[in-house]
Amino acid sequence: MRPVALVDCNNFYASCERLFQPRLRGRPVVVLSNNDGCVIARSNEAKDLGIAMGAPWHLSKETFKRHGVIVRSSNYTLYGDISRRVMRILSTFTPDLEIYSIDEAFLGLDGFGDRLEAHAREIRRTVLQWTGIPVSIGIAPTKTLAKAANRLAKQGDGVRLLMTQDAQAEALAQLKLTDLWGVAGRMEKRLAVIGITTPLQLRNADPHILRQHAGVLLERMALELRGVSCVGLQNLVPQAKSIMCSRSFGRAVTTRRELEEAVSTYAERAAAKMRRQALCTATVQVFVTTNPFKTQETQYAASRTITLPVATADSAKLVNAATMALARLWRSGVRFKKAGVILLDLVDQSSVQGDLWTSPDTPRNTRLMQAMDKLNALYGRDTVTLASSGRKVRWSLRAEKRSARYTTNWDELLRVA
DNA sequence: TCTGGGGTCCTAGGACCC
DNA sequence: TCTGGGGTCCTAGGACCC
């Protein structure tokens, strides 16, 4: 049985804010989302006041004031920086580290025998001492159980082991279904239909019945709750599969021009983020929604996907595609509240290459520069590399998974472009 | 007036092909 | 009047996570 630890920073954003402002310690602190829209982090004191995750600020301002709640706008640059420091420390404790989110990591802890708990306490002490961030650690044979252990660790003294069947059963008996990793409101209702209302019932349920009525994820979860590991540790950071940029509007948008401007900006930002990861794509999706909180207003939510003939990392082409997708979503008279652009089917720019033959009549350097110019125009600046031998120029870009083709035929390349 | 943003995975159903 | 069936691919949408 290979023990897995989940290390989770307590109230991460709120703890980060406290690092540099000691006066925040011991007081209720909340951190707000992007446009100071809603609560995305709470200190324990704020939780004790009953402030809910996701609570809209404009509805709770008065209550916050009354209780002396300290409110901060979010500072993602700071949180990212502190996160990297915490993760670096964790990486010194094990070679098996999976950074799961900005404030959580799974650690493989093989070979510690009965010193597991002492080791966990050492990790906890070190992170706190070196960064000032308090963490909780749950240890179990599977990730799902480690998650549950972590939740109980937070209620206790910061470390919780669930390495035996007895300990696991006792722990699951203390939790609600929705405390489990992967069960939220909708799934809770679906499980209730087949008579499952507690984590222990889920653990003991027939996996085949679960798969039929609640999907393959729940089947896997039941196995994980029994201590059968189905979700392995990933210590390599996987390549992104999609990159998104989206925003809610401060007020409803009703003109096509405004909506187009917003979507163009998002497409550019998403493309820039994609290039930073040396990826490119042929698939651009745009989505729009009305304000779901205004239930008396007519609701509209839709998305459209455009597939380009060739993959690219070039902003202009992606913006163009996004605009085309938006044209199919536009409806006059609709009060748009949010829009976004998602780049899908991302692939490595360097994973595709091709050969082209240049004219022997021009000097080699000129030929290369001409080739580079053409490829840059096609795929976006700095996304193409060339290597030449004789008249042959090998260019590298990216492979396209489904829809985009690549070709070494200049005419077709230019026509497509 | 004011309710986040960035992801992953799964599935239902339509299009299309033979 | 009767009006295939099976397979794959793709899209949109749902559910969940932090």
Q: Give the pLDDT confidence score for residue A409 in this predicted structure.
A: 38
Cα gap A296→A51, rounded to integer Å: 26
Q: Give the pLDDT confidence score for residue A414 in this predicted structure.
A: 38
Q: Whose CA is closest to A250, among A411, A8, A58?
A: A58
3-state secondary structure of A90: helix
A74 nearest nucleotide via C1' and CA:
B4
Cα gap A282→A380, rounded to integer Å: 13
- The one-letter amino acid at A19: L
Q: Give the pLDDT confidence score for residue A84 in this predicted structure.
A: 96
- Nucleotide C18 C1' to residue A376 CA (A): 37
Cβ contacts of A253 within 8 Å, gap of 6 or more: A259, A262, A335, A336, A337, A339
Cα gap A387→A194, rounded to integer Å: 62
- Nucleotide C17 C1' to residue A398 CA (A): 30
Tokens of A361: 């009549």
3-state secondary structure of A97: strand
Evaluate whether the domain defined by A243-389 bears CATH number 3.30.1490.100: yes
Cα gap A146→A82, rounded to integer Å: 23
A180 burial type by CB count under 10 A (0-12 exposed, 13-18 middle, 19+ buried): buried
Q: Give the pLDDT confidence score for residue A3 in this predicted structure.
A: 96
3-state secondary structure of A107: strand
H/E stretch holding A284 reads: strand A279-290
Q: In whole angstroms, how large is the CA radius of gyration of chain A?
A: 26
Cβ contacts of A363 within 8 Å, gap of 6 or more: none
- Nucleic strand B contacts from chain A, 320-379, CB < 7 Å: 337-338, 340
* In chain A, domain spans: 243-389
Q: Give the pLDDT confidence score for residue A18 in this predicted structure.
A: 96
Asked if A356 contacts A412 with a C-beta cutoff of 8 angstroms, the reply is: no
Cα–Cα–Cα angle for A408, A412, A413, rounded to 5 degrees: 65
- Nucleotide B16 C1' to residue A402 CA (A): 16
Q: Give the pLDDT confidence score for residue A415 in this predicted structure.
A: 40
- Provide the β-strand partners of residue A286: A304, A341
Cα gap A285→A264, rounded to integer Å: 12
Tokens of A156: 């206790």
- Nucleotide B16 C1' to residue A216 CA (A): 28
- Nucleotide B6 C1' to residue A306 CA (A): 21
Q: Give the pLDDT confidence score for residue A404 in this predicted structure.
A: 36
Q: Give the pLDDT confidence score for residue A411 in this predicted structure.
A: 39
A337 nearest nucleotide via C1' and CA:
B3
Q: How far is CA A102 from CA A84, A138, A270, A369, A408, in A?
A: 8, 17, 20, 43, 42
- Nucleotide C3 C1' to residue A157 CA (A): 70
The per-residue pLDDT for range A46-93, each reduced to its tens digit, is: 999 999 999 999 999 999 999 999 999 999 999 999 999 999 999 999
- Nucleic strand B contacts from chain A, 202-221, CB < 7 Å: 215-217
Q: Which residue has the tokens 């070979």?
A: A111
- Nucleic strand B contacts from chain A, 68-127, CB < 7 Å: none
Asked if A148 contacts A162 with a C-beta cutoff of 8 angstroms, the reply is: yes
Residues with CB under 7 A from strand C: A 100-104, 147, 180-188, 283, 285, 301-305, 307, 402-403
Asked if A322 contacts A390 with a C-beta cutoff of 8 angstroms, the reply is: no
Cα–Cα–Cα angle for A248, A253, A259, rounded to 5 degrees: 85
Asked if A116 contacts A161 with a C-beta cutoff of 8 angstroms, the reply is: yes
The tens-digit pLDDT sequence of chain A (417 residues) is 899 999 999 999 999 999 999 999 999 999 999 889 999 999 999 999 999 999 999 999 999 999 999 999 999 999 999 999 999 999 999 999 999 999 999 999 999 989 999 999 999 999 999 999 999 999 999 999 999 999 999 999 999 999 999 999 999 999 999 999 999 999 999 999 999 999 999 999 998 889 888 888 999 999 999 999 999 999 888 899 999 999 999 899 999 999 999 999 999 999 999 989 988 888 999 999 999 999 888 899 999 999 887 788 889 989 999 999 999 999 999 999 999 999 998 988 776 555 666 666 777 777 677 767 766 665 554 445 666 666 666 666 543 333 333 333 343 333 433
Asked if A114 contacts A120 with a C-beta cutoff of 8 angstroms, the reply is: no
Q: Whose CA is closest to A35, among A16, A20, A56, A18?
A: A56
Is strand B within 7 Å of residue A252 (CB)? yes
| Backbone angles phi and psi of A373, in degrees to 5 | -60, -45
Cα gap A160→A147, rounded to integer Å: 10
- The one-letter amino acid at A160: R
Cβ contacts of A234 within 8 Å, gap of 6 or more: A98
The per-residue pLDDT for range A260-307, each reduced to its tens digit, is: 999 999 999 999 999 899 888 889 999 999 999 998 888 999 999 998
